[in-house]
């Protein structure tokens, strides 16, 4: 009887203090969101009132991944602003390439650019060397006219590494060759190859290197481990180059979008890729995870995650454009709602086990240990 009374007392005490802690947490979140909102509006007002823009005349921007999404819209936006834009596309038959070719702006041209293929990169280096009259990198022969009278008079002002690939699968599923390496070939090695190839042009123009990261380089969620790994590399490269290139007055800038409604977040495509990886997974691994039950669980997890995608991709396009046209750009642009920014900030202040709880709904280790100790004591 005494044991039951003691357990009841302890339970009520824990519940009481948990309610108090929850109330404090809710108030803290409310105040934090308000302060974030106030600071963001104040910062935007100050920046907009004192913003100065780069002169786009005779300046070239190279953008990768223009078949769809951010790259497609940014290429058009920068051309309209006055830059000459070389838009790299994976396929010249893609709808995005056709849209850009018929856009009607003489300062916008497409070029086939698969950043996983060195021959494509070499060809674009040759074109840019010709357009910028960079004699050290010009090969024999002259390509066909690209921008007409501007050929040979331009300078490469910015490289936008926008091309990316996402596969949302558990780390143990699939194979390295078919599931992990494709993401690293595009997000990491392709980005590194392209950056190294065009840094001589950017040093010469004292221009901008803009890399597209992700909220996944801030927080890793189960099922996005491989993708987060690749985006952490992009973040580290951008941070390191920001320091190394400062002596040349070259800005290295990171744009970190949360999940937006683009082809990369198409739920049908994500589930299709997951199912392909599931079929490639070792039978022992599938059995340990729960086989078909886990497959259904993960597909539902994907559907719930995609519900959180933001519709207005112009939030990201605006940030990318600002990183290129603003005379005093930010070093990092985090593209998300005010509430999302506040939530990510709060999560990053928590202990690791509580962060894991919010991402996976697995009880924190400290709470589990406490329950075990209490159970053994009685």
pLDDT tens digit sequence for 89-143: 999 999 999 999 999 899 999 999 999 999 999 999 999 999 998 876 666 666 6
HSE-up (13 A, CA, CB side) for residue 272: 6
Distance CA 298, CA 291 (A): 11
Residue 90 is classified by DSSP as S
- Judged against a pLDDT cut of 80, whether residue 39 lies above it is answered with no
Answer for the pair 113, 138: CB distance below 8 angstroms, yes or no. Answer: no
Give residue 374's pLDDT.
Answer: 44
Task: Compute CA distances 219 → 198, 239, 346, whole Å.
Answer: 30, 17, 12
CA 105 to chain centre: 28
* Distances, alpha carbon 206 to alpha carbons 154, 155, 171, 264, in Å: 13, 10, 40, 32
The answer to whether 183 and 228 are in contact (CB under 8 A) is no
Cα–Cα distance between 356 and 244 in angstroms, integer? Answer: 35
| pLDDT-derived band at 221, boundaries 50, 70, 90 | confident
Distance of alpha carbon 111 from alpha carbon 89, whole angstroms:
6
Residues sharing a CB contact under 8 Å with residue 210, sequence separation 6 or more, in sequence order: 158, 159, 160, 161, 253, 254, 255, 320, 323, 324
| Cβ within 8 Å of residue 142, ≥6 positions away | 130
pLDDT digits (tens, 9 = 90+) for 310-356: 999 999 999 999 999 999 999 999 998 888 888 878 887 888 877 77
Quick one: CA dihedral 268, 66, 191, 330, positive or negative?
negative
Q: How confident is the model at residue 64 (pLDDT cuts 50, 70, 90)?
A: very high
Q: Which residues contact 260 (CB under 8 A, 6 or more apart)?
A: 70, 309, 310, 311, 312, 313, 315, 316, 335
Does the annotation count 227 as an active-site position?
yes
Q: Are 214 and 255 in contact (CB under 8 A)?
A: no
- 223-271 pLDDT, tens digit per residue, is 889 999 999 999 999 999 999 999 999 999 999 999 898 888 888 899 9
The one catalytic residue among 130, 227, 260, 333: 227
- Residue 116's CB is within 10 A of a number of other CB atoms, namely 16
Is there a contact between 154 and 60 (Cβ–Cβ < 8 Å)?
yes
Strand order in the sheet with 332-335: 108-112, 84-89, 59-63, 155-161, 208-212, 251-257, 332-335
Give the side-chain half-sphere CA count within 13 A for 298: 25
Task: Note the pLDDT tens digit of each residue in 365-377.
Answer: 554 454 445 445 4
SS3 103: coil
Q: Cβ–Cβ contacts within 10 Å for residue 340, how many? A: 17
| Residue 18: Cβ-neighbour burial (10 angstroms; 0-12, 13-18, 19+) | exposed
Residue 310's DSSP bridge partners are: 260
pTM for this predicted structure? 0.81
Instruction: Please say whether the beta carbons of 74 and 63 come within 8 A.
Output: yes
- Which of 21-35, 77-91, 254-268, 345-359 comes out lowest in average pLDDT? 21-35
Instruction: Please check whether residue 317 is in contact with residue 74, taking contact to mean a CB–CB distance below 8 angstroms.
Output: yes
Per the CB < 8 A criterion, the answer to whether 116 and 189 are in contact is: yes
């Amino acid at each position: 009887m005494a044991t039951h009374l003691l357990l009841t007392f302890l339970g009520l005490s824990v519940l009481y203090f948990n309610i108090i802690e929850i109330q404090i947490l809710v108030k803290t979140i409310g105040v934090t969101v308000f302060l974030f909102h106030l600071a963001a509006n104040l910062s935007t007002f100050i920046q907009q009132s004192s913003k100065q823009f780069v002169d786009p005349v005779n300046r070239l921007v190279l953008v990768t991944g223009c078949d769809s999404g951010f790259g497609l819209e940014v290429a058009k936006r920068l051309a309209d602003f006055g830059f000459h834009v070389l838009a790299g596309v994976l396929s010249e038959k893609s709808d995005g390439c056709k849209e850009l070719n018929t856009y009607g702006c003489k300062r916008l041209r497409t070029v086939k650019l698969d950043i996983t293929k060195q021959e494509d990169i070499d060809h674009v280096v040759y074109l840019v060397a010709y357009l910028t009259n960079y004699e050290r990198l010009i090969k024999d022969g002259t390509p066909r006219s690209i921008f007409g009278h501007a050929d040979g008079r331009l300078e490469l002002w910015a490289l936008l590494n926008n091309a990316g690939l996402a596969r949302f699968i558990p780390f143990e599923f699939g194979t390295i060759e078919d599931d992990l390496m494709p993401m690293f070939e595009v997000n990491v090695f392709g980005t590194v190859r392209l950056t190294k190839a065009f840094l001589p042009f950017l040093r010469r123009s004292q221009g901008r290197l803009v890399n597209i990261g992700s909220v996944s380089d801030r927080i890793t969620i189960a099922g996005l481990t491989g993708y987060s790994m690749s985006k952490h590399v992009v973040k580290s490269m951008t941070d390191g180059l920001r320091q190394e290139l400062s002596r040349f007055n070259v800005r290295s800038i990171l744009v970190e979008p949360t999940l937006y409604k683009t082809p990369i977040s198409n739920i049908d495509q994500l589930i299709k890729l997951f199912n392909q990886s599931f079929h490639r997974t070792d039978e022992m691994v599938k059995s340990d995870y729960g086989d078909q039950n886990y497959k259904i669980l993960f597909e539902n997890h994907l559907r719930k995650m995609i519900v959180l995608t933001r519709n207005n991709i112009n939030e990201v396009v605006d940030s990318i454009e600002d990183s290129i046209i603003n005379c005093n750009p930010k070093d990092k642009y985090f593209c998300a709602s005010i509430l999302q920014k506040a939530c990510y900030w709060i999560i990053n202040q928590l202990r690791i086990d509580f962060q894991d709880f919010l991402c996976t709904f697995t009880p924190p280790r400290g709470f589990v240990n406490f329950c075990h100790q209490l159970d053994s004591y009685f």
